[in-house]
């Protein structure tokens, strides 16, 4: 509760070209969308890179990850062109 979309959510939405997806979790209201189509393997690879990047940051700053998926989604824009993640809409 409180986190955001999972890797499987992104893969499913891209595979079936579902358009903008919304999640309500506790008080969170988030959305994501792809401006272009990505294959499952591309999304999975970008997710792994973004996950590595956030964990690298937290290790370097000696901080804790509170909501891993949310942080990964913020980072994904650096790995997937046209990916948009909207928080607390």
Q: Which of 66, 55, 89, 77 is nearest to 10 (CA)?
A: 77
Question: Largest alpha-carbon pair distance within the chain?
Answer: 39
The answer to whether residue 16 sits within a structural domain is yes
The answer to whether residue 53 sits within a structural domain is yes
Beta strands in the chain (DSSP E): 21-25, 28-34, 83-86
Question: HSE on the CB side for 75, CA within 13 Å?
Answer: 21
Tens of pLDDT, residue by residue over 37-54, are 999 999 999 999 999 999
Distance between CA atoms of 69 and 47, rounded to whole angstroms? 9
CB 50 within 8 A of CB 76: yes
Domain region containing 38? 7-86
The answer to whether residue 72 sits within a structural domain is yes
For the chain, the domain total comes to 1
The answer to whether residue 2 sits within a structural domain is no
Task: Give the rounded percent of residues in the chain with a pLDDT score beyond 70.
Answer: 98
Average pLDDT for 2-22: 92
The answer to whether residue 62 sits within a structural domain is yes
């Amino acid at each position: 509760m409180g986190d955001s979309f999972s890797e499987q959510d992104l893969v499913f939405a891209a595979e079936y070209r579902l358009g903008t997806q919304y999640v309500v979790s506790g008080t969170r209201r988030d959305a994501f969308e792809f401006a272009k189509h990505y294959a499952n393997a591309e999304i999975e690879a970008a997710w792994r890179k973004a996950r590595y990047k956030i964990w690298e940051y937290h290790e370097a700053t000696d901080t804790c990850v509170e909501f891993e998926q949310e942080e990964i989604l913020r980072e994904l824009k650096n790995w997937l062109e046209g990916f948009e993640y909207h928080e607390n809409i």
